[in-house]
Every structure is written in structure tokens, then in C-alpha cells.
């Protein structure tokens, strides 16, 4: 156990990391981000671990950031440093030498979606959904991996509309590798992990690294840095929708703010 809200366990050759805040749909707080990175580094260092499974407790994988958490930041430089830490955690998953499988049910949204995109493979339960709905109140993705996974046209569509897609549509787009009935998710994820674990660890490292290096050569890391800078600028700009969403969250609660967001698109 890495923390109360990030669970870590090993059943050789698989390490399982669980987002364990089910009542909040596993929304990520800053302590959770730091514990999540710690858990992945622990799996990286354990030679008995050949595959890592990332899952969420309860009815959802992860609904994104905890929007009730107040960062207290009001400068572009502060936001840049703040966002860079979370991007580094997400890219710890992307760059892990060992394969990572996301096991997804329910909501896989916003930062949770970005974390799933950073995983090598995703097994999704029927009825799960994927997307970046935060653009609907003036926010946006922090780790912009989507264009690297699904291409430009569909990325623009999802980020311009804030629409979410089903597991089946996500499979068509290349976001998801396999869609299974909800009651078979754990079994299907474990079977895939055990199959991959048969590959010698050094061979896996020498396979994953050049695949990732291909994206680095294409400019992945520079693109992510640019997104951090522009997202930081966005947070100190005067965006009425973002300000109103924050006001409602503070004064009336998150549920009221989410209703306001969705009513704008009703």
C-alpha cells in the first residue's frame, strides 16, 4: 500500500496499482498524483514484476482531477511548475520500461483519460466512456497525448466538442485494445497481463523503448512542453466560463458546477 488512495500489490509477475477513491470516482488529488508516481517507480525497480496493471476501485476508472482542490496558484510560472509535475507523473507511465495495462470501467475522463492514454494497452468494460469534457467549461488537457494516439482529426473533434465516446467507439479509434463484458474485465486483464509476462523482461524493454523513441523523434516531448506553457497561460487569462465554473464550485459545490456545464450544451 503506497497511500490510502493509491494501493499497490504484487502477485508475481504482475503489479497492480489501484486508484482507491471510489466515492469520488477516483478523482485525482495532488497527494494521489505523487503516490501514483511512487507506485510506478516501485514497480519499475522490482525485477519480479514484468507487467503493471492500473485500475480504479468502484464503478469508475477515473473521472479526472479533483475539481474541488484549490491550488492557490495565480501566476503563469506557478501554473507551469504545477502542471509539469502532473505531466511528469503521466509520462512516468508512458516511459516505464515495463508494459502497463489500463483496466477501465465506467468513467475514464479528463486526467484519467490522459493516464489511460499513457498506458501501453487498455482493456475496457462495456459501458465505459472516454473523453475530455473539461473543455466545456474553459479548461483543457494537461498531458496532450491524444493526437499521438488517435490522430489529428478525431482529437480536434473531441477537444472542440467535449464529447465522450463509448468503449466500442474508443476501440475503433485506437484508444482501447479490447472491449469485454463488465463482469469479465478483471479476468480478461489478468489473462492479457500473464500472456505479455511470458516475454523476457529485457526483450520487452528493448521493444518498448524504440517504439517510444519514435514518438520522441517526431517531437512528442516538445509538444507536451508547449501544451504546459499554453495551459498555464490559459489559467491566468480572463476566461469567463472557467471563472464561472470555479465560482459555482466554491459557492454551491461541484455537482452544481457540473450541472451548469452540461446545461450549456443541453
State how far the Cα of 6 lies from the Cα of 20, in Å rounded to an integer.
6
44 is known as an active-site residue: no
Cis peptide leading into residue 13 (ω within 30°): yes
Termini Cα distance of the chain: 42
Active-site choice (38, 47, 114, 126): 114
Compute the half-sphere exposure of residue 115: CA atoms within 13 Å on the CB side of its CA. 31
Greatest distance between any 2 Cα atoms in the chain: 54
Active-site choice (134, 186, 241, 251): 134
Cell digits for 103? 483496466
Q: Of the candidates 15, 6, 1, which has an alpha carbon nearest to the alpha carbon of residue 48?
A: 15
229 is known as an active-site residue: no
For the chain, give percent helix, strand, coil, nearest 5: 55, 15, 30
Residues with a catalytic annotation lie at 114, 134
Amino acid at each position: 500500500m503506497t497511500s490510502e488512495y493509491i494501493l499497490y500489490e504484487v502477485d508475481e509477475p504482475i503489479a497492480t496499482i489501484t486508484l482507491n477513491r471510489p466515492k469520488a470516482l477516483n478523482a485525482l488529488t495532488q497527494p494521489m498524483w505523487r503516490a501514483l508516481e511512487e507506485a510506478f517507480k516501485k514497480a519499475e525497480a522490482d525485477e519480479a514484476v514484468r507487467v503493471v496493471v492500473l485500475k480504479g476501485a468502484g464503478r469508475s476508472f477515473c473521472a479526472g482531477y479533483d475539481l474541488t482542490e484549490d491550488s492557490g496558484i495565480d501566476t503563469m510560472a506557478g501554473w507551469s511548475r504545477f502542471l509539469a509535475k502532473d505531466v511528469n507523473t503521466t509520462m512516468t507511465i508512458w516511459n516505464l520500461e515495463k508494459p502497463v495495462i489500463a483496466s477501465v470501467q465506467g468513467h475514464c475522463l479528463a486526467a484519467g483519460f490522459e493516464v489511460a492514454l499513457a498506458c501501453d494497452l487498455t482493456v475496457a468494460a462495456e459501458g465505459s466512456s472516454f473523453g475530455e469534457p473539461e473543455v466545456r467549461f474553459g479548461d483543457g488537457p494537461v498531458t496532450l497525448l491524444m493526437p499521438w494516439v488517435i490522430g489529428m482529426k478525431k482529437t480536434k473533434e473531441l477537444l472542440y466538442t467535449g464529447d465522450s465516446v463509448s468503449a466500442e467507439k474508443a476501440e475503433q479509434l485506437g484508444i482501447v485494445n479490447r472491449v469485454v463484458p463488465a463482469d469479465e474485465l478483471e479476468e480478461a486483464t489478468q489473462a492479457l497481463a500473464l500472456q505479455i509476462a511470458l516475454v523476457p523482461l529485457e526483450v520487452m524493454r528493448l521493444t518498448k523503448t524504440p517504439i517510444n523513441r519514435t514518438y520522441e523523434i517526431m517531437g512528442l516531448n516538445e509538444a507536451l512542453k508547449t501544451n504546459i506553457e499554453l495551459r498555464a497561460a490559459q489559467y491566468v487569462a480572463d476566461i469567463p466560463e472557467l471563472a464561472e465554473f470555479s465560482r459555482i464550485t466554491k459557492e454551491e459545490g461541484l455537482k452544481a458546477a457540473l450541472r451548469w456545464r452540461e446545461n450549456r450544451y443541453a
